[in-house]
């Protein structure tokens, strides 16, 4: 038993020695989006991704019927522009861009730093969507800070646009792991939360474009927080739509404003 304790102490000492000797180093981040999965609507409303008509025809298994389709990008891209055309009308584009942070000095593993910034334009779309998302770190100074990888999704969750509150109508964007599970800060346990982007039709800022910073730390590559929303973006610690007015109030307002018949294709 004494030998086992000595061995355990030696292992703990070695781990502490390695951690204490991790050097500060310059870290850069690369990566972006790898795929788009959603209902592409078939020949009802042709779908375009980064200027390429992906449905129809069927390079990604998309046919004339509705259903889940996945479009794999030829290479990892920092910008995804996706939209549909319905009966000759080109709907407002959805654009999501990730700009990696400039190379920066990171003092070591476990220390949060800026990974990059999302810029999101909230357009018209038909169903929820998942965008494959991956990031990799590189450091020329310390191997402990280099080749750390995050792989998961940015999930787009649509709202019904049935509220008189622009905050409740704002569409929801949040990050998940590869299994679709939401993320939390490993240090605090706080949920990463969601990005909300106002609809152009009722945005109090007059815009449907916002930016949000993404922060993380070297563990593997753990995401820790979203911060600094600007423009049409705001943050929320939850992932579900915000509460809407009481049904009786909504009915009265809907009769006056014609909100009851709003659909994704008619907003």
Ramachandran assignment for 100, one of left (phi > 0), alpha (psi -120 to 50 degrees), beta (any other): beta
β-bridge partners, 213: 117, 227
Which residues lie across from 216 on neighbouring strands?
113, 223
Give the contacts of 213 (CB within 8 A, at least 6 positions apart). Answer: 114, 116, 117, 118, 226, 227, 228
Rounded Cα–Cα distance for residues 113 and 150 (Å): 14
Q: How does pLDDT run across 200-224, given as a tens digit for each residue?
A: 999 999 999 999 999 999 989 999 9
- The residue assigned the tokens 């891209």 is 77
Whose structure tokens read 């792989």? 151
**Burial of 195 per CB tally in 10 Å (0-12, 13-18, 19+):** buried
Helical H runs in 80-232? 166-169
For 81-102, what is each residue's pLDDT tens digit?
999 988 889 999 999 999 999 9
Report how many helices (DSSP H) and strands (DSSP E) the chain contains, helices first.
3, 16
Give one word for 244, left, alpha or beta, with left for phi > 0 and alpha for psi -120 to 50: beta
Q: Please tell me the predicted confidence (pLDDT) of residue 9.
A: 45
Helix (H, G, I), strand (E, B) or coil at 141: coil
Residue with tokens 């990974």: 115
pLDDT per residue rounded down to tens, the chain (267 residues): 444 444 434 433 343 434 444 578 999 999 999 999 998 866 667 889 999 888 765 444 455 555 678 889 999 999 999 999 888 899 999 999 999 999 999 999 999 999 999 999 999 998 899 999 999 999 999 999 999 999 999 999 999 998 999 999 999 999 999 999 999 999 999 999 999 999 999 999 999 999 999 999 998 999 999 999 999 999 999 999 998 766 544 444 444 444 333 334 434
Burial 76-103 (b: 16+ CB within 10 A, else e): bbeebbbbbeeeeeebbbbbbbbebbee
Nearest-angstrom CA–CA distance, 118 and 125: 19
């Amino acid at each position: 038993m004494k030998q086992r304790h000595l061995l355990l102490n030696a292992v703990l000492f070695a781990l502490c020695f390695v951690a204490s000797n991790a050097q500060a180093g310059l870290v850069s981040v690369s990566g972006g989006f790898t795929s788009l999965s959603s209902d592409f609507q078939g020949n009802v409303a042709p779908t375009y991704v980064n200027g390429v008509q992906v449905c129809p025809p069927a390079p990604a298994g998309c046919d004339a019927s509705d259903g889940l389709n996945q479009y794999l990008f030829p290479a990892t891209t920092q910008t995804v522009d996706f939209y549909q055309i319905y009966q000759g009308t080109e709907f407002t584009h959805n654009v999501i861009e990730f700009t990696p942070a400039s190379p920066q000095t990171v003092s070591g593993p476990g220390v949060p730093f800026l990974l990059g910034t999302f810029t999101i334009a909230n357009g018209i779309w038909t169903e929820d969507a998942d965008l494959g998302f991956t990031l990799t770190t590189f450091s020329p100074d310390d191997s402990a800070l280099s080749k750390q990888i995050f792989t998961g999704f940015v999930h787009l969750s649509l709202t019904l646009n049935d509220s008189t509150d622009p905050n409740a109508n704002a569409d929801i964007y949040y990050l998940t792991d590869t299994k679709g599970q939401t993320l939390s800060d490993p240090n605090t346990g706080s949920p990463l939360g969601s990005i909300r982007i106002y609809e152009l039709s009722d945005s109090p800022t007059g815009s449907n474009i916002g930016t949000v910073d993404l922060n993380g730390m070297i563990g593997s590559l753990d995401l820790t927080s979203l911060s600094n929303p600007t423009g049409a973006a705001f943050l929320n610690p939850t992932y579900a739509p915000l509460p809407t007015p009481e049904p009786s109030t909504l009915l009265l307002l809907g009769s006056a404003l014609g909100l009851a018949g709003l659909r994704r294709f008619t907003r």
